[in-house]
Structure 1
């Protein structure tokens, strides 16, 4: 009977030792989990920052394209105006020459 009690004490002691080891492993796993969680949060922040930068870059690109398009439209309007302004001058001497010939 004493041997059974001793055996039970050894089993309990062994189980306690195993529990302590498991608690240590659990604590290490929880710390690792927390580090991973922090890394994930930081990576998400970095991703959002990169997305904002990409959007700003795309907005700047669109703005530059609109400016270029506006410059081209302005230049075309100026050319049309100048051509319209020159057209009567070109026609007038020719028309006068036809009148003189008649």
Structure 2
């Protein structure tokens, strides 16, 4: 059975891999798979809850990281929506121009 330190290192590695995928890829299936592995690792750590202070602190750090990722995703979603609106406006403007020429 891995120690608490080993488990934390495994979670940190999974988190780094997930971060890298989220930044570098548009393949959501890979990102989803990595997130599932990350989540399973987090759940497997419940056996370390005996050291509640360290375990709780580590889980708080993970939650903070996840919340930061959610903020980044929201910003990307808003930027993508704005870009789609801009493209739609250009399309309408071009269509109107083509009809008038």
**TM-score, normalised with respect to structure 1:** 0.50
Which of 33, 50, 57 is equivalent to 2:70? Answer: 33
- 2:59 is aligned to 22
- 1:68 is aligned to none
- 1:62 is aligned to 99
Q: In structure 2, do the counterparts of structure 1 residues 19 and 58 end up closer, same or farther at CA, with 3 Å as the change threshold?
A: same
Q: Which has the larger radius of gyration?
A: 1
Question: Once the 2 structures are TM-superposed, how far is the Cα of residue 12 of structure 1 from its aligned partner?
Answer: 7.7
Question: Once the 2 structures are TM-superposed, how far is the Cα of residue 16 of structure 1 from its aligned partner?
Answer: 1.1
Alignment of 1:80-95 (within 5 A): none
Q: 1:32 and 1:24 mapped to 2: Cα distance?
A: 12
**Does 1:45 pair with 2:45?**
no
1:57-97 deviation per Cα after TM superposition (whole angstroms, max 9, x unaligned): 00001111xxxxxxxxxxxxxxxxxxxxxxxxxxxxxxxxx
Question: Once the 2 structures are TM-superposed, how far is the Cα of residue 48 of structure 1 from its aligned partner?
Answer: 0.3
The alignment's C-alpha RMSD in Å is 1.7
1:18-53 deviation per Cα after TM superposition (whole angstroms, max 9, x unaligned): 110100000000000000000000000000000000
For CA contacts below 8 A with separation 6 or more, give which structure has more relative contact order: 2
